[in-house]
Each structure stands twice: as C-alpha cells, then as structure tokens.
Amino acid sequence: MRQITVLLVVRVVLIKNGTAQSLTKDRNVSFPELASKYGYTAQLYDAFTEDGYILRLFRIPGPRKVPILLMHGILDSANSWIIRGNMSLAITLANQGYDVWLGNCRGNRYSRRHIYLDPNVDDDFWDFSFHEYGFYDLAAIIDTVLYITGADRLDAIGHSQGTTMFYVLGSTRPEYNQKVNVLVSLAPVCYLQNVPPPLKTIIQYSPIIYNLATSLRVQEVFKENPVMKKTLKALCMNPLIGYSICIMDTVFPITGYDEEELETSVVPVLFDNFPTATSVKNLYHFAQVSYRRQFARFDYGPDRNLDMYGYPIPPKYELENVKMRVALFVGENDFVSTVEDVAILKQYLPNVVQHLVIPRRKMNHVDFVWGLHMNEYLYPYIFDVLKTYESESVLSISSSSNAIWTDRPKI
C-alpha cells in the first residue's frame, strides 16, 4: 500500500462577511457566497489524493477543538449542507461553535481537477467509483483536516454516499478508524437489497445501460455543461410544471415522497446546486452492490477481476474492520436507504453506538439534508450523539503529543 504523500494546502481564500451580492434564483451560487450570505467567512483549501486528484475543501472556522467533517451524497456537493440557509446543518453547527469542514469528492463541481488529467478530455479521469471516494478521497480529506487543525481525530457526518465512503475507508485502511471520533450516518448506504421500484427496475437494467454507455464512451453523468444546466433549470423552475415534473415525478419516486419538507419555493435553489457530476462507473458500482447483494469492490468480470484482485470475483469489504463509532439514522419512508438494508448493515458493523429510525414517519432520503424542519425532527439526535462523545475527543486531543505538528504552517 502506497503511503499518502500529499497533505499540502496550496491555497487559502477568504470571502469576507457581507461581500456576496444578493443571490438570485437563477444564479449558480458558490459555497463561499452562501456562507457569506448567512454571516460566515468561508476558507478554501485544496487536498491532494495519492492518485493525483485535487479536492476542494471548505471550512467555517469555530472555537471548538474537535473539527467536524461533513461528506455529501451522490450527485451532490458541499452546497447540500448549506442551501437551507440558517436552517442548514452547516450553519447550525457553525452557530454552535463547531469548526466545520465540508468535503467534495472527485468529479463534482468543486473537484474537477487532477495533477495531469483533464476531465473534459481524458476518459481516465472518470475511471472511479465510490471505492476511490473512500480509499483515496476521504483519506486525503481527513489527513488534510487533521494537519491544518492539529487535531488527532475528528467528528464526521455523512449523508447517503457520504456514509459509504467511511465504510470503504474503515474496512480497507483500518488505521483511519482511530482518526474518526464518531460517525453520524444519515441515510446510510451500504446494502441496497430492498429498494423498491422504480430504482429497483433501473438497477435491474443497469448492466445494459452501463455497457451502452461504455460503448458510446460516456464516462461522466450530469456533466457540468452550461447548456444542460440551463435547460434543466428552465424546466424545473417553471412555476406551472417544474415541481410536478422534477420533484413529484422524478425525485420523490426514487427518494420517497414528502412534499411537506420539500416545498415549491425551494426548488429554484435546489436545482441551482443539484445534481452535480459523477462517473458512470460510480452509479454502476452501486447497482452491482444491489443486484449482487454484496458490499464488494467493483466487478470487472472474471478475467479482469483476476488481474485486479487475484480472484475471479471481487472481494467483499470487511466491515468488521470498521471499528470507528457509528450512529445509524434511517427514515421509515426512505426508498434508497431502507430500514431493512440498514438493519443488515448494523449486523456487520462492530461499533454501532446508536441505531435510530427517525420518529417522523414521512422521513425520506433527502429530508436528511434538504428538509424544511430538520432542526425539529433530526438535529436533536445528531447533537445528542456529538455531545455524548465530545468529552472523550477533547480529552484525547489535550493529552496527545503535539510534536508532530511543530512544523505546521501558520494559516
């Protein structure tokens, strides 16, 4: 296993409070501008992965000693944690004095950079799935956060795919379990055996779709193409048909229905920020997890599997190695992270400190990050977990040696 070599922060940019202009519905707003709108200065950092990707990190500094890292879901970015403004989790944590860090995975709107690959030209840039998100991206992000802050561990909150990468990292690089004080898993995705249609139907046809995309050399999904974005926004922001077509007929059948928490007025903001790009391979890897009924590495077929793994079938992720504390929060009305599949996950994780089906019966997959009243039905449970393990983490930091950080640059 190669040693992580890049912990270098190459750029820090400060967006001062109050400098953002008025945000209009049809504007593609950046995370720093959103943070500024809600009264905070955002710091920007670059983290480098072992395999050459350059990932953008955002930070809203706070006085608490233990940093907290938020990792977004599929087709998403750090913006997902802040688009609800003062009710968003990023701002709520900042208001509580947390040192908030937000990661962006390779390929999304903030992380389309590589040391030598061009995402618009080189197909190899898109040769990744959630395995690389966990094994490379999350490792680099965690190490960079700890390097900058001088902490020896952090708290973490992941949503959907943002939880999957922690299970990958903890199982393949067990040393990282010691760097995570507690992981709050919102709508965890690890097993996808009980998803209903239409997602189940799409998964069943995924081998055909993947082979077709491969033959056409389509590597990127939801490419950051202004024409496509403008067309999508024009359709979804149409006051007569936008909500019906883009939410009721597209989002809710996959995530679970909850129109009370995703109201009409938020749609323009939502589609300014979602979806963002990922790889076709990533989507297909999740589909494989579902129809193969195993949380395992990417299946290339017997011949290439032998070259890649030494076995004709891809190896399973050894979840018994995921020793970090994990709190599992699931929605009863979630069509992606189902109650049944999270129960399977719980059986394999050795250190589950809480397993909760959110009492709100209509809780769906996106209510965890976009819900109108998250502060009422979700945040109290998150803060209970963070506070339960807060004293242990602070004690660990105060008693650890700081010698390793003596040459840390002053930022």
> For residue 26, what pLDDT is reported?
31
> For residue 392, what pLDDT is reported?
58
Element (H, E) at 24: none
Task: Report the distance separating Cα 23 and Cα 218, nearest Å.
Answer: 34
Mean pLDDT of 386-400: 65
Looking at the predicted structure, is the pLDDT value of residue 310 above 60?
yes
Q: Which residues of 253-270 are buried (b: 16+ CB within 10 A; e: fewer)?
A: ebbbebeebbeeebbbbb
The answer to whether 160 is a known catalytic residue is yes
> For residue 222, what pLDDT is reported?
87
Mean pLDDT of 188-198: 97
Q: Nearest to residue 82, comparing CAs of 141, 25, 113, 39?
A: 39
So what's the architecture of 13-403 in CATH?
3-Layer(aba) Sandwich (3.40)
Place 394 in a pLDDT band, splitting at 50, 70 and 90: low
Catalytic, out of 76, 272, 334, 341:
334
Catalytic, out of 111, 160, 171, 393:
160
* Half-sphere exposure of residue 303: CA atoms within 13 angstroms, side-chain side: 0
> For residue 241, what pLDDT is reported?
86
**Which residues face 158 on adjacent strands?**
71, 185
Q: Would you list the domain boundaries of the chain?
A: 13-403
Place 381 in a pLDDT band, splitting at 50, 70 and 90: very high
Place 393 in a pLDDT band, splitting at 50, 70 and 90: low
Residues 297-309 have pLDDT tens digits of: 999 999 999 999 9
Q: Residue 196 phi/psi, 5° resolution?
A: -85, 170
Task: Report the distance separating Cα 233 and Cα 385, nearest Å.
Answer: 38
Least confident of 166-170, 231-235, 396-400: 396-400
pTM score, whole prediction:
0.89
Place 106 in a pLDDT band, splitting at 50, 70 and 90: very high
Residues 14-51 have pLDDT tens digits of: 433 333 333 343 346 799 999 999 999 999 999 999 99
Least confident of 98-102, 186-190, 266-270, 321-325: 266-270
Mean pLDDT of 328-336: 98
Mean pLDDT over the full length of the chain = 88
The answer to whether 334 is a known catalytic residue is yes
